[in-house]
Amino acid sequence: MTAAALPAQRRRTLFLLIVATIVGILFFGACIPFTLTSFFLFDAGETTQAWIMFAGAWLVPLVLILGLIVAWICFAARTAIGVYVGLGLMALPVATVVVFFVLLFAGRI
């Protein structure tokens, strides 16, 4: 089935999924260096802050990928609400990192 043969709502959802996948891939690529170097957080010793940063560094890409997988599976199963739940799950780590960096550069953290 081509994109032109899809109903209008499903075509918009497909477009949203494609854009979200591109954004997710770019964000995932930006997260990888931080994730792979997160082990160095423990060089100064084990602290609660180091463990929180370590867990965050590994959960951000995992939740991002999980959200995209859920969204695409629900799209294939023609479950519109599941697509939006998956996209919301995907947007959660992106929004969290954006808020973190805004607060960091604003001097609030």
Residue 86 lies in a domain: yes
Six-digit token pair at 52? 């929180």
Tell me the three state secondary structure of residue 87.
Answer: helix
Best CA proximity match to 64, nearest among 104, 102, 105, 22: 22
As a whole number of angstroms, the distance between CA 29 and CA 60 comes to 12
Residue 49 lies in a domain: yes
Residue 2 lies in a domain: no
As a whole number of angstroms, the distance between CA 94 and CA 100 comes to 10
Structural domains in the chain (count): 1
pLDDT, tens digit, for every residue of 52-80? Answer: 888 888 888 899 999 999 999 999 999 88
Residue 1 lies in a domain: no
One-letter amino acid for residue 21 of the chain? T
Residue 16 lies in a domain: yes
Residue-by-residue pLDDT tens, the chain, 109 positions: 565 667 888 889 999 999 999 999 998 888 888 888 888 888 888 888 888 888 888 888 899 999 999 999 999 999 889 999 999 999 888 888 888 888 878 877 6
As a whole number of angstroms, the distance between CA 9 and CA 12 comes to 5
Domain of 57, in residue numbers: 8-105
Residue 99 lies in a domain: yes
